[in-house]
Each structure stands twice: as structure tokens, then as C-alpha cells.
Chains A and B, each alone.
Chain A
Amino acid sequence: MTDASPVALTRTASGAELIGGAGGAAPVAVTPRIALEGVSVRYHGALALDSINLAVAPGEVVVLLGPSGSGKSTILRAIAGFLTPSQGRISLAGRDVTDLPPHARGVGMVVQNYALFPHLRVAENVGFGLRARRRPVADITERVAACLDMVGMGRFADRLPRELSGGQQQRVAIARALAIDPPVLLLDEPLSALDAPLRAGLLEEIRALHARLPDLVIVYVTHDQNEAIALGDRILLMRDGRIAAEGTPRALHDTPPHRYAAEFFGQANLLPVQLDACDAELAIVTLEGQRLTVRAPAWHASDDRALGARPLLCLRPHAITLNATGLNRIEARILATHWMGAVNRIEAAIGPHRLRIDVPGSTTPPAPGSVVTIGFEPDQACLVADL
């Protein structure tokens, strides 16, 4: 075994940012709680993970977001030890665990279907890991009670798993994972088997739990962007076994680097434009003959060859205003309107390009067939690569 070298992390108020990322604060040297260095995993010859590099700081909540088959669960299973990388090293708190079996890694894990042991009662499930560690009975009893209380399941200690609802079973699974006091908690789509109201409640409970255990690292796998936004200090967007994009939820939402990120992370309007000019802050683009001013793409500053290319204008539905009078104005034809309670969703077209506009549900939307002037603030739009 070899020790992983400390990695420089930039800390922000919300927790750890990207390694060496631009957070404003001075970087500090911290040994990451989880470090993946060039990790690749093959399934029957096919590449499931391709050279993944990842460092997670103590207390950080990292969300792996992506569609099915993108490799997010594979990362989790490699960290837990259920998969052996074909290449690369995995370290936990500076200890190389690449070749260690799962039982020697000491990570807590919760899976989608809970995987509670059906023949054991709730308290026995929660105390399972402590018994495996040969802890004294008194310690086990005390720790089990504390963990069950932490997830609000103290009253159900004598129940069998089949006597619990889905949400209760998931709470028990979380208590079971936390009972061994793991430095790392791996959550593999833990809420996807639950209905929407229960999901929202449990998501809030996981956030509260992390607030009580601020040093605990959580790696959370989901395909739901709302869960990712609600929970993540940092989001890794996965695609075809690689990290397609990463950043804070805000950064990924406001300035997605490419089409894939913009489409997966929020339903953005993506309109092909001609890039006319660009400096460090602003870019001038042309859409259907109309010149528009938008935020400069981050990638442009280091790549002049992008000038004159056909990037995509990324415009969120809620960032568009009707009957605009500001800097960016363009005419759009209204195709249809749908009242959806909190918002009116308007289907519109600029030339051949269709787009969605969300305005408050309390307003009266324009009639279908009418032509209106829509607009947006320059800092509410960005350019993304067509990848």
C-alpha cells in the first residue's frame, strides 16, 4: 500500500470546491477523504469507467449525476470495493484501498432497494456492522439506539423490515450505514424507489443529518437534477464512463460548458448563433439577424479558434421576459400556452427555432399566433459548445 499525496483544495463557504478551483479563498493542503487517480473499470471488455480523477474533501457532499449507464454507480461500487479497477488507484483518507476487499474499507453504503436483512429485526440490522466488528454488547445497544433516534426510527427497533414502509426502510438503511461511524457514506439512488412527497422529506432529512455530522463525506448517486441541486456541494455530471462536467450546482446551472450539460441540467433553450465578437466578459452573437449581447464563454478566453464558430445560446425558460425593452430584444411568434399552476409555459418560435418561456402563472399569457418582443439580461444567458 502507498499513501496518496495531499491534494490542494480550494475551500468555499459552502464547503470544498474544486481542486485548485477559483473560489476566491486561498487554497489549503488537505488530504482528500476519497481520491481516485486515473481509475478505469471494464465490464466484460467494455469500458465502464474511463480514467476518472476525483478528490473529495472532508465534509463535502459530491453528487454523481447522469443517465443510466453513464458510470455513476460504477464509481460508487469501485469506492466501496465491489468492483476492482482495471487501472488506477483508489485512496480513502490517504490509505490506498485499491486491492482491499469491501469489508476492510470501512465505508457506509445505502442502495436503492434498501437491502435490509429480512430475517433480522430493525435493531439487529442496524447493529449488524458493530457485531461484525466484535464490539461489546452494551456498546452495540447504545449505538443502535442512538442511530435509530437520529433517523427517527427508535420506536420501530423490534419490527421486521417487511413490517415497515419504504421510507422507514430507507431510514433504517441509513442508520445501519451510519452505525459503524464511517468517514464516507455512499448513497446509490437512495430515494428513487419512493414517491415524490416522501422523497422530498427524506432529502431534507439527509441534509439535516449531514449538518449534524459535518465531517462526514457523502457521495450521492442520482439521475434527478433536483436532488443534485438540493444536496450537492459539487456535482459531477457523468457521460459514457467519464466526467462530462463538474462544478457547484449554481455554476453548472448558470454556465453549463456544453450542450449535454445544459440539456441534462435544467431544461435550457439552446439556439444556434453566430459568434461575432468576444472579450473577457461579454460576447456579441447574431440570432436570426438580430445582434445580442451575452456573457462570454469561459472556454473562449483560452481558445481564439472558437471565434466565428457556431456555438449555442443557452437561455433558461424563466430568464426570458415578454414585451422586453432592454438591451437584448427579439421577436418571437407564440405557438401555444399551457397553464401549469405556478407558471404559464409558452411555446414560441424565433424563425425556425423553437423555445420555451416560463412566466408567472398569475399573468395572462399572449394569445397563440401573436408576435411579441421577448428579451433577456446579458448575464442571464451564456454560450455553450455544441458537444
Chain B
Amino acid sequence: MNRLLITPIVRGVPRSSILNRVLRLALPVCVLSVLLLYPLAHMAAAAFKGAAGEFSLGPATRMLGSPLFLRALLHTFEIAATATILCLLLGLALAVLFNLAPFRGVQVLGRVVDTYLAFPSFLIALSLTFLYGNAGLVTALFARLFGADPHAASFLYGFWGVVLAEVTFYTPFVLRPLLAGFQSLDPAQIEMASSLGEKPWGVLRRIVLPALLPALLAGGSLCLLLTINEFGIMLVMGAKNVITLPVLIYSEAVQQFDYSGASVIALGNAMLSFGLFALYRTSLTGLSAGLAR
């Protein structure tokens, strides 16, 4: 940087201009360092710190080899993958319905989807407990109609309950890029495919799905990223048998006071999130290219 500062002219750029650029870059770098990089570095340091404060791989090997962590990792992936697949299927079905079989009020429905994105996830979980929880309306109705035991644990507090809540909340996150993807699809292509003799299912498979591939990747990777990191729904549902990585981090840090162990899991979780975010950004670039075409 000093070399830059003392060089009077670089390829015709005046010295004051270079100084301005460096100063403009320095401010966001400082802010980012304080707000993001420092906590991350601190977390990484905590993950590799022994009992006496020395560098140690002990906490990492202990935590990564524990059955608790492996079970949490498995649950996280199971729930995230199942929810993502169901979100993609439901989002695709809704997007196709909105675009290829439009009905009166479809625009209002689009606005509702937009509004839905503004809700916090735990509200969805809370609303589902009012319906399907042990004291929920639907649970009580089933108990009255079919004589089911109202005190038996509802499915809501298990794997499928968490998946239901996540699918309910995250489907709009998939639907949005899919609706944008439809905008890049020329309706004349669908018409031409039909006039060439392709039946509706064939048009969907051979024309619509290839055009929506970047949107499916973008929506899917975003959904996977968010469901892997989902914490609010898990907390409100209180599904004791379904421990995921974010819940385990919370449990280790707040309940067990094991900051080293929590940092190890958090570091792994962060790397996973960065990877998925990179996939999401790449897919989004593809979607933008499709829209621009």
C-alpha cells in the first residue's frame, strides 16, 4: 500500500485518485472486520483452544467424533434435504399453476407470497401448534371424531412436524425465483412446442423445466441453506428427539457452557453455509443471464 501511495503517477492516474480509492476501500474493510471477521476469527480460535488456552485439536476431535454431533448432523441433513425437496416440488407446482393455468386472483396470491417472506419463521411454527399441537384444534377434532388419545404426542413434535413447518415457511423462498424464471421463458416457446405435437407433460419436461433449471438451483440452494441453519422453528416446536446443528450449538454454548465445542460445530456450520451460498449465487447468476436473454 505504501508503494502505491508514494508512486506519483500509475498509468496516468493521479496520486490523489489512488489515495481516494484506498480511503474508500479502507472504511468498509474496517467495518467488516469489526462486525464479521473478528467474531468469526474469535470463534475459530475458540474451536482450537485447549483447557490452558493453548492451540489444541482436542475440542474439535472430541466434538466431531461424539454421537451427539453425528446424530445432529444427520438430522440436520435429513430435515433440510426433505424440506428442500418438498419445497421444490410444491413451489414448482404452484409456479406452474400460477403461470400456465392462471386464475382470477393470481396476482393477489402473488402479493400474499411476498408478504409471507416478511414473517419470522417461529410464527409459522407457533401457528402450526395451534392447529396440530397437543392442544391444537385439528388434534382435538380428530380426537372427537375418531376417538384418538388427545394426550398422545402429536406428529408435530417429531421429524415430520419440523419438516411441515419448514415446508410451510420456506416454499415461498423457492416460489419467488421460479416465478422470476417463468418471466424469462417466452410463452411462444410453449405454444410452439404444443403446435409441434408435444403434449402438456412433455412441454413441461422438455421446455419448461430446462428453462427453470437456474431458478430451481437458486431456490433449492437458498432453501437448503436456510433450512440447515433454521433455529426459530426448532425452538418453538421443542422437538426433543430432533436435534439439529443450530440447536446443538445453542445447547452446548448456553446450557452446557462448552464454548469450545459450540465453536467447533459453529465453524463447520459456517463453512457449510458459505458453500451453499456460493452455489446459490452461481445459480442466481444463471437465472439473471436467462432473464437478460
Residues of A at the B interface (CB closer than 8 Å) are 80-82, 101-103, 105-109, 111, 113, 115-119, 128-129, 132-133, 162, 176-177, 180
Report whether B210 and A133 are in contact in the complex, using a CB–CB cutoff of 8 Å: no
Contacts of A133 in B (CB 8 A): 197
A111-B188, A113-B188, A132-B202 as given contacts; A119 in contact with B211, CB under 8 Å: yes
Contacts of A115 in B (CB 8 A): 186, 188-189, 191-192
Report whether A106 and B197 are in contact in the complex, using a CB–CB cutoff of 8 Å: yes
Judge whether B196 is part of the interface by a CB distance below 8 angstroms: yes
Q: Nearest 7 CB-CB pairs, A to B?
A: A129-B196, A115-B188, A102-B194, A132-B198, A132-B197, A119-B210, A115-B192
Contacts of A128 in B (CB 8 A): 193, 196, 198, 206
Report whether B191 and A103 are in contact in the complex, using a CB–CB cutoff of 8 Å: no
Report whether A103 and B293 are in contact in the complex, using a CB–CB cutoff of 8 Å: no
Extra 11 A-B pairs, beta carbons < 8 Å, given A115-B189, A176-B196, A177-B195: A82-B194, A103-B194, A109-B191, A113-B188, A115-B192, A117-B192, A118-B293, A128-B206, A129-B198, A132-B196, A176-B192
Bound: A106/B198 CA distance, A: 10
Bound: A107/B196 CA distance, A: 7
Contacts of B207 in A (CB 8 A): 117
Q: Mark B6-50, 1 if CB is under 8 A from A, else 0.
A: 000000000000000000000000000000000000000000000
Bound: A105/B197 CA distance, A: 8
Taking a contact as CB atoms closer than 8 A, the residue among B195, B199, B206 that contacts A107 in the complex is B195
Report whether A103 and B198 are in contact in the complex, using a CB–CB cutoff of 8 Å: yes
Smallest Cβ-Cβ distance to A113: which chain B residue: B188
Q: Mark B195-233, 1 if CB is under 8 A from A, else 0.
A: 111111010001100110000000000000000000000
Residues of B at the A interface (CB closer than 8 Å) are 186, 188-189, 191-200, 202, 206-207, 210-211, 293
Count contacts between A and B, CB distance < 8 Å.
67
Taking a contact as CB atoms closer than 8 A, the residue among A80, A116, A177, A180 that contacts B191 in the complex is A80
Report whether A180 and B192 are in contact in the complex, using a CB–CB cutoff of 8 Å: no
Bound: A80/B188 CA distance, A: 12
Report B214 CB to chain A, min CB distance, Å. Answer: 11
Which secondary structure dominates chain B's binding surface? helix
Contacts of A162 in B (CB 8 A): 293
Taking a contact as CB atoms closer than 8 A, the residue among A102, A117, A118 that contacts B195 in the complex is A102
Report whether B195 and A103 are in contact in the complex, using a CB–CB cutoff of 8 Å: yes
Smallest Cβ-Cβ distance to B191: which chain A residue: A82
Report whether B199 and A103 are in contact in the complex, using a CB–CB cutoff of 8 Å: yes
Bound: A80/B186 CA distance, A: 17
Bound: A176/B193 CA distance, A: 10
Contacts of A108 in B (CB 8 A): 195-196
Contacts of A107 in B (CB 8 A): 195
Smallest Cβ-Cβ distance to B194: which chain A residue: A102
Between A and B, 20 residue pairs with Cβ closer than 8 Å are: A80-B191, A81-B194, A82-B191, A101-B194, A102-B191, A105-B195, A108-B196, A109-B191, A109-B195, A111-B191, A113-B186, A113-B188, A116-B189, A117-B207, A118-B293, A119-B211, A132-B196, A132-B198, A176-B192, A176-B196
Smallest Cβ-Cβ distance to B192: which chain A residue: A115
Q: Which of A82, A102, A107 has the most CB of B within 10 A?
A: A102
Report B225 CB to chain A, min CB distance, Å. Answer: 26
Contacts of A81 in B (CB 8 A): 194-195
Contacts of B193 in A (CB 8 A): 117, 128, 132
Q: Which of A103, A109, A133, A162 has the most CB of B within 10 A?
A: A103
Bound: A107/B197 CA distance, A: 9
Contacts of B198 in A (CB 8 A): 103, 128-129, 132
Bound: A116/B189 CA distance, A: 7
A80-B191, A119-B210 as given contacts; A180 in contact with B186, CB under 8 Å: no
Bound: A180/B197 CA distance, A: 9
Contacts of B194 in A (CB 8 A): 81-82, 101-103
Report B205 CB to chain A, min CB distance, Å. Answer: 11
Contacts of A113 in B (CB 8 A): 186, 188
Report whether A109 and B197 are in contact in the complex, using a CB–CB cutoff of 8 Å: no
Bound: A375/B212 CA distance, A: 66
Smallest Cβ-Cβ distance to B190: which chain A residue: A115
Contacts of B293 in A (CB 8 A): 118, 162
Taking a contact as CB atoms closer than 8 A, the residue among B196, B206, B210 that contacts A180 in the complex is B196
Bound: A107/B194 CA distance, A: 10
Contacts of A111 in B (CB 8 A): 188, 191-192
Smallest Cβ-Cβ distance to A112: which chain B residue: B188
Bound: A80/B190 CA distance, A: 13
Smallest Cβ-Cβ distance to B207: which chain A residue: A117
Report A211 CB to chain B, min CB distance, Å. Answer: 24
Q: Which of A80, A105, A132 has the most CB of B within 10 A?
A: A132
Bound: A129/B195 CA distance, A: 8
Contacts of B202 in A (CB 8 A): 132
Report A169 CB to chain B, min CB distance, Å. Answer: 13
Bound: A116/B186 CA distance, A: 10
Contacts of B199 in A (CB 8 A): 103, 132
Smallest Cβ-Cβ distance to B209: which chain A residue: A119
Bound: A162/B292 CA distance, A: 13
Contacts of A117 in B (CB 8 A): 189, 192-193, 206-207
Bound: A133/B199 CA distance, A: 10
Report A192 CB to chain B, min CB distance, Å. Answer: 14
Contacts of A118 in B (CB 8 A): 211, 293
Bound: A315/B109 CA distance, A: 59
Contacts of A102 in B (CB 8 A): 191, 194-195
Smallest Cβ-Cβ distance to A134: which chain B residue: B197
Bound: A89/B265 CA distance, A: 69
Bound: A113/B202 CA distance, A: 22
Report A101 CB to chain B, min CB distance, Å. Answer: 7
Bound: A80/B211 CA distance, A: 24
Contacts of A176 in B (CB 8 A): 192, 196
Contacts of B188 in A (CB 8 A): 111, 113, 115
Smallest Cβ-Cβ distance to B293: which chain A residue: A118
Report A198 CB to chain B, min CB distance, Å. Answer: 20
Report A254 CB to chain B, min CB distance, Å. Answer: 37
Bound: A80/B195 CA distance, A: 7
